[in-house]
């Protein structure tokens, strides 16, 4: 048995994605030309390259990679957890949890991709073992007025999705009596009785107007439509209210997408704020961090289903985590070119509306250079080893 020689990191490249950025339902809405995702490539001296994704403005990612360079340059890419922890530990004073943590997420995903390629194993196996080989994606869609919800959901139901999440838009944001319920009723009718349906209030939006009493009333209403979870029902820092809502709600309470770093999740998991925790692998610190959060959640009786309002590479990371952690669902944005239009072999639903988890080495997916060129000004700079 030969030992693997180190794969020294030679260069880290960043490609902000822009031009076709999908709406997020935010009150200050995303424009197509805004960059809210960036891809990262880690290139090594031995010729292996790994890829990752970061959920923030590409300009912040470019700056962060430069700031972090003295810490990653020449490091061994075959030791993802040690290298990313080194990046975290040495940058606390620059504002841990923000742009640097987001960027480290993309680097960490790329390092796991490299380790997988070097060893010939899928990342899920490196994370401890394959507990499932396929997973149900839920199609994430924005809420509209009730009369428009059939048109929002129908094309994705026709594509074969069997689980849907509707969120943001007008929900909880108007004084119109009965509007929230009318949206959910229309969505349930469009999704079909057999489909799973989840509701995301999106209370991390700017100046969220509702509080605990609204959330409690709304949770009762959602139970009538067999909604599988109620997500971000409260302002993202309202820990006490989340704990009370979880105790009293008839539907499971989900949240945590805006938290970063494993340490920040602890009070939420220990105190019982969620039935389902939704860390985002492209923000929390990457696969290394997401795995620890998910295991801590499991030890506290909380389910892990990652947040993935994301890119094809973020989804690829979510799939590997789903394999190792036996997560029953992954998030899949409906109609995002950065998910559907980036890979050489696009994701494809099977007859049950599930995705096969790639079993090729690393993340098991490959970026298509020509497709990438649609969304970033210098695609060659990312891909050139």
Stretch of residues binding Mg ion (CB under 5 A), selected from 67-75, 199-207, 294-302, 351-359: 199-207
How far apart are CB 232 and Mg ion at their closest, in Å? Answer: 5
Q: Based on CB atoms, which residue is closest to Mg ion, 108 or 200?
A: 200
How many C-beta atoms lie closer than 10 Å to residue 362's C-beta?
A: 28
Q: How far is the CB of 187 from Mg ion (least distance, A)?
A: 15
Report whether 78 contacts 115 (CB < 8 A): yes
Least distance CB 33 / Mg ion (angstroms): 23
Q: How far is the CB of 228 from Mg ion (least distance, A)?
A: 14
75/200 with CB nearer Mg ion: 200
CB nearer to Mg ion: pick between 75 and 231? 231
Report the distance separating Cα 151 and Cα 144, nearest Å: 10
Least distance (Å) between residue 161 CB and Mg ion = 17
Q: Exactly one of 200, 280, 318, 331 binds Mg ion (CB under 5 A); which one? A: 200
Pick between residue 303 and residue 371 the one whose CB is nearest to Mg ion: 303
Number of residues that bind Mg ion (CB under 5 A): 1
Cα gap 300→271, rounded to integer Å: 9
CB nearer to Mg ion: pick between 112 and 164: 164
Region from 80-88, 194-202, 207-215, 357-365 binding Mg ion, contact rule CB under 5 A: 194-202
How many CA atoms, within 13 angstroms, populate the side-chain half-sphere of residue 113? 30
Stretch that binds Mg ion, among 53-61, 142-150, 197-205, 327-335 (CB under 5 A): 197-205
Of 254 and 321, the one with the shorter C-beta distance to Mg ion is 254
Contacts of Mg ion in 134-163 (CB under 5 A) = none
Residue 108 is a binding residue for Mg ion (CB under 5 A)? no
Q: Minimum CB separation from Mg ion for residue 233, in Å? A: 10
Task: Tell me whether residue 256 or residue 364 sits nearer to Mg ion (CB atom).
Answer: 256
Query: Quick one: which segment of 142-150, 182-190, 200-208, 338-346 binds Mg ion (CB under 5 A)?
Result: 200-208
Q: What is the 3-state secondary structure (H, E, C) of the chain?
A: CCCCCCCEEEEEEEEEECCCCCCCCCCCCCCCCCCCEEEEEEEECCCCEEEEEECCCHHHHHHHHHHHHHHHCCCECCCHHHHHHHHHHCCHHHCCCCHHHHHHHHHHHHHHHHHHHHHCCEHHHHCCCCCCCEEEEEEEEECCCHHHHHHHHHHHHHHCCCEEEEECCCCCCCCCCCHHHHHHHHHHHHHCCCCEEEEECCCCCCCCCCCHHHHHHHHHHHHHCCCCCEECCCCCCCHHHHHHHHHHCCCCEEECCCCCCHHHHHHHHHCCCCCEECCECCCCCCHHHHHHHHHHHHHCCCEECCECCCCHHHHHHHHHHHHHHCCCEEEEECCCHHHHCCECCCCCECCCCCEECCCCCECCCCECHHHHCCCCCCHHHHHCC
Pick out residues in 273-332 that bind Mg ion (CB under 5 A). Answer: none
Nearest residue relative to Mg ion (C-beta): 200
- Considering the complex, state which of residue 302 and residue 363 has its C-beta at the smaller distance from Mg ion: 302
Q: In whole angstroms, how close is the CB of 200 to Mg ion at the nearest point?
A: 4
CB of 231 to Mg ion, least distance (A): 5
Q: Closest distance between Mg ion and the C-beta of residue 305, in Å?
A: 11
The smaller minimum CB distance to Mg ion, of residues 57 and 200, is found at 200
Interface ranges with Mg ion (CB under 5 A)? 200
């Amino acid at each position: 048995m030969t030992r693997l020689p180190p794969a020294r990191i030679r260069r880290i490249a960043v490609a902000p994605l822009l031009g076709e950025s999908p709406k997020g339902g935010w009150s200050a809405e995303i424009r197509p030309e805004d960059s809210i995702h960036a891809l990262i490539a880690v290139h090594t001296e031995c010729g292996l390259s790994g890829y990752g994704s970061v959920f923030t403005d590409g300009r912040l990612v470019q700056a962060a990679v430069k700031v972090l360079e003295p810490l990653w340059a020449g490091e061994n890419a075959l030791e993802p957890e040690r290298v990313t922890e080194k990046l975290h530990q040495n940058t606390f004073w620059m504002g841990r949890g923000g742009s640097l943590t987001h960027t480290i997420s993309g680097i960490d995903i790329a390092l796991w991709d490299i380790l997988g390629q070097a060893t010939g194993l899928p990342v899920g196996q490196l994370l401890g073992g394959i507990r499932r080989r396929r997973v149900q994606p839920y199609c994430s869609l924005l809420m509209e007025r009730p009369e428009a919800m059939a048109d929002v959901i129908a094309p994705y139901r026709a594509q074969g999705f069997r689980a849907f999440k509707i969120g943001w838009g007008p929900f909880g944001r108007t004084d119109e009596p009965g509007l929230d319920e009318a949206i959910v009723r229309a969505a349930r009718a469009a999704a079909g009785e057999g489909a799973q349906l989840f509701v995301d209030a999106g209370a991390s939006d700017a100046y969220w107007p509702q509080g605990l009493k609204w959330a409690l009333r709304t949770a009762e209403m959602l139970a009538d439509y067999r909604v599988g979870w109620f997500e971000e029902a409260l302002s993202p820092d309202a820990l006490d209210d989340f704990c009370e809502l979880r105790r009293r709600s008839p539907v499971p309470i989900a949240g945590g997408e805006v938290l970063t770093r494993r340490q920040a999740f602890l009070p939420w998991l220990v105190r019982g704020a969620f039935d389902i925790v939704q860390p985002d692998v492209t923000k929390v610190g990457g696969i290394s961090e997401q795995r620890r959060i998910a295991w801590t959640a499991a030890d506290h009786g909380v389910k892990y289903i990652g947040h993935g309002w994301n890119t094809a590479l973020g989804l690829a990371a979510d799939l590997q985590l789903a394999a190792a952690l036996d997560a029953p669902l992954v998030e899949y944005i409906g109609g995002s070119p950065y998910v559907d239009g980036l890979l050489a072999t696009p994701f494809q639903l099977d007859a049950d509306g599930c995705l096969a988890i790639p079993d090729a080495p690393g993340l098991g997916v490959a970026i298509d250079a020509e497709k990438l060129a649609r969304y970033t000004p210098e695609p060659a700079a990312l891909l050139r080893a």
